[in-house]
Amino acid sequence: EVQLVESGGGLVQPGRSVRLSCSGSGFTFENFAMHWVRQAPGKGLEWVSGISGSSATIGYADSVRDRFTISRDNARNSLFLQMDNLRPDDMAFYYCAKDRGPFGDYAFDLWGQGTLVTVSS
């Protein structure tokens, strides 16, 4: 079955860190760019970060640059998001999303179910 499964969300205090993981299956993981997209409860979608299939190309939204780090391990079909210095406005469901192409077509054709990150003291 073609799917993405996120893990790692939970309650975290402001200023602390959390690492999200996403496991892909049913497709050749290394052949596709991958992204993280977030959605605060009741709000719209926000692109967070993306990484090409080879990890050569990486991008971040201004709101998370210098605090979040995206990476991937193609041998383990896994995508990661290291989130440091978390702020209350980072609270959201974080979705792992597959790109249609290897370098970034920026069209997300497969989504995980999301993992909720709650930032609160």
Question: What residues make contact with another protein under the rule CB under 8 A?
Answer: 35, 37, 44-47, 50, 57-63, 95, 100, 104-109, 111-114
Nearer to another protein, 58 or 69 (CB): 58
Residue 73's nearest CA partner among 23, 1, 18 is: 23
Nearer to another protein, 4 or 119 (CB): 4
Report the 10 Å Cβ neighbour count for 94: 23
Backbone dihedral angles phi then psi of residue 74, each to the nearest 5 degrees: -65, -30
Distance of closest approach, residue 64 Cβ to another protein, in angstroms = 11
Distance of closest approach, residue 2 Cβ to another protein, in angstroms = 13
Nearer to another protein, 102 or 114 (CB): 114
Distance of closest approach, residue 32 Cβ to another protein, in angstroms = 13
Backbone dihedral angles phi then psi of residue 61, each to the nearest 5 degrees: -70, 150
Distance of closest approach, residue 84 Cβ to another protein, in angstroms = 19
For 105, the token pair is: 């077509």
Integer Cα distance of 40 and 95 in angstroms = 11
Nearer to another protein, 57 or 120 (CB): 57
Q: Are 51 and 79 in contact (CB under 8 A)?
A: yes
